[in-house]
Every structure is written in C-alpha cells, then in structure tokens.
Amino acid sequence: MATNYVRGASITCAASRAEIQQMLSQYGATGFRTGSENGRTIIAFTANRRRFRFLYEPPGSPEPADATRSPQKPRSLPPTKSHEELSRRYWHKLSMLIRAKLEAVDAGVVTFEEEFLAYMVLPGGETVAQNVRPGSPGRTLPASGPRR
C-alpha cells in the first residue's frame, strides 16, 4: 500500500520546486526562476540557449482576466481536498514528469529540445504549446479545409 509520502501528499511544494531546479541544473539549465501572478505559477529556465516555461494554474485559483486557461482543467476544488494538498500533489507530479523527461533524454531516446518542445518560448513570448493550441492568437487555421 502506498503511503502519503509516496503519492506526494507529504512533500512540500518548496521541496518539489527545489528538486525540479536541481534536476534541470544537472542538465545544464540556468536562470531557473518561479513566480506567481493572477493565480498562476510559472517555472522558467534557460537551457541550450533557449528559454522554457511551465505554466501552472492551481485548482481553486481565480479565473484569469483573459480566460486563456485550458477547458480540460477544472478550477474548482473537490470538497475533500484542500488547496495546499492539491498544490503539493501537483508539484510532486510535475517533479516526476520532469524526472521522466530527463531520464528519456539521458537514455538517448529523445533530445532535450524534443522532450521539452511544448514548453519552449517562441520569440513572441508564447510557448510552442500556446502557439499551436486551437484558437490561440498565434494559430491561424485554413478557412476551408486542408490545402492540396
């Protein structure tokens, strides 16, 4: 049976952030920074002369003014989970995700750029994922189907 620690419920957000920074630093990432604004948390760093950014919208945070959040992510809190517990679990899962990505890079399965492509910041300030998401300002869809 898994304990709370194994599931990430007891690991603090700060400990997970520090672990993420340490892992990325081992792969040459620099300029690691985190910040919060308008209910969002951002993790940003530079690697291989490129900028990368993870954007986190905690459960229960206020709706951002521009309403650009993904519709797949519910914002309301389940009645049995506290905001702090959900944040700890999120940071732990993010740490595990980044660890898995870096292990794939280390094994030579993918390059760093391939594995972190969605989080790469483009010259206009958007990430690749934000730019290609349907309906985003940076994405223009053909008016009448695919070109031939």
Please, what are the averages of pLDDT over each run of 10 residues along the chain (148 residues)? 49 90 93 82 91 80 49 51 79 91 96 94 94 70 46
CA dist., res. 127 & res. 121, Å (int): 4
Instruction: Identify any residues that bridge with 127 across adjacent strands, giving them in sequence order.
Output: 121
DSSP, res 122: P
For residues 58 and 87, the answer to whether their CB atoms sit within 8 Å is yes
The pair phi, psi for residue 42, each rounded to 5°, is -120, 135
For residues 55 and 61, the answer to whether their CB atoms sit within 8 Å is no
For residues 106 and 99, the answer to whether their CB atoms sit within 8 Å is no
Amino acid residing at 46: T
Three-state SS at 4: helix
Three-state SS at 115: helix
How confident is the model at residue 71, as a pLDDT?
47
Measure CA 92 to chain center.
12
How confident is the model at residue 9, as a pLDDT?
55
How confident is the model at residue 83, as a pLDDT?
74
What's the pTM? Answer: 0.69
Please report, for the chain, the start and end positions of each structural domain, with discontinuous segments joined by +. Answer: 4-62+74-132
